[in-house]
């Protein structure tokens, strides 16, 4: 009698709990077996994905616009700098970095000579006006000490004076030889 009552109680309890669980699942929308509801949910998900894709496209567009704006501002800033700075960056960095130039100090002569050397020996591409502007600019911003500048002029003087001196010397020797070898007008 007691046993029967216990079995009946267990059966009742399990039936009740299954009923409650099922009701909960339906509440939470788990147990949807209706095709209309499925289609609605799928449509909602599809719309959410489409929205997200559209928002991402919008963000990418905004990023591109901001990048273009930054590029434009940078180009404007570049164009606003002095001609010499721009020329050095455009014409003098094909073979070595700017640091090579920035680490160097010359006087006016030295810079003109260096730019001429870069053009004639190394093949830098600048027209005459640009070469002049570059050398003058570098003389302004990377100038050597006064003693070095004097040394440059002394070196130039030596380079010009030596052949002149050699020419004059050989000319005088030749003149002396012709005088010695000439017939004596008194004889």
List interacting residues with ligand HEC (CB under 6 A): 91-92, 94-96, 100-101, 104, 114-115, 118, 121-124, 126, 134, 138
Cβ–Cβ < 8 Å for 140, 90: no
Looking at the Cβ atoms of 32 and 105, the one nearer to ligand HEC is: 105
At its nearest, how many Å lie between ligand HEC and the CB of residue 163?
23
Looking at the Cβ atoms of 72 and 100, the one nearer to ligand HEC is: 100
Tokens 């949910």 belong to: 41
At its nearest, how many Å lie between ligand HEC and the CB of residue 159?
16
Q: Which residue is nearest to ligand HEC (CB)?
A: 92
Looking at the Cβ atoms of 22 and 100, the one nearer to ligand HEC is: 100
- How deeply is 178 buried, as exposed, middle or buried, from its count of CB atoms within 10 A (0-12, 13-18, 19+)? exposed
At its nearest, how many Å lie between ligand HEC and the CB of residue 116?
9
Q: Give the count of beta carbons closer than 10 Å to the beta carbon of residue 155.
A: 13
2: left (phi over 0), alpha (psi -120 to 50) or beta: alpha
Cβ–Cβ < 8 Å for 135, 126: no
């Amino acid at each position: 009698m007691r046993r029967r009552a216990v079995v009946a109680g267990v059966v009742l309890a399990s039936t009740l709990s299954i009923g409650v669980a099922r009701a909960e699942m339906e509440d939470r929308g788990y147990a949807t077996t209706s095709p209309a509801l499925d289609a609605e949910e799928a449509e909602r998900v599809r719309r959410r994905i489409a929205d997200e894709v559209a928002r991402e496209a919008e963000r990418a567009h905004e990023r591109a616009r901001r990048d273009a704006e930054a590029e434009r501002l940078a180009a404007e800033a570049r164009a606003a700098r002095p001609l010499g700075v721009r020329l050095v960056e455009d014409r003098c960095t094909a073979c070595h970095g700017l640091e090579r130039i920035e680490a160097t100090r010359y006087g006016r002569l030295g810079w003109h000579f260096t730019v001429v050397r870069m053009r004639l020996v190394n093949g830098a591409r600048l027209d005459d006006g640009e070469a002049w502007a570059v050398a003058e600019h570098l003389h302004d911003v990377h100038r050597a000490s006064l003693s070095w500048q004097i040394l440059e002029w002394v070196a130039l003087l030596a380079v010009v004076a030596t052949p002149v001196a050699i020419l004059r010397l050989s000319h005088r020797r030749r003149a002396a030889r012709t005088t010695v070898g000439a017939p004596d007008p008194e004889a």
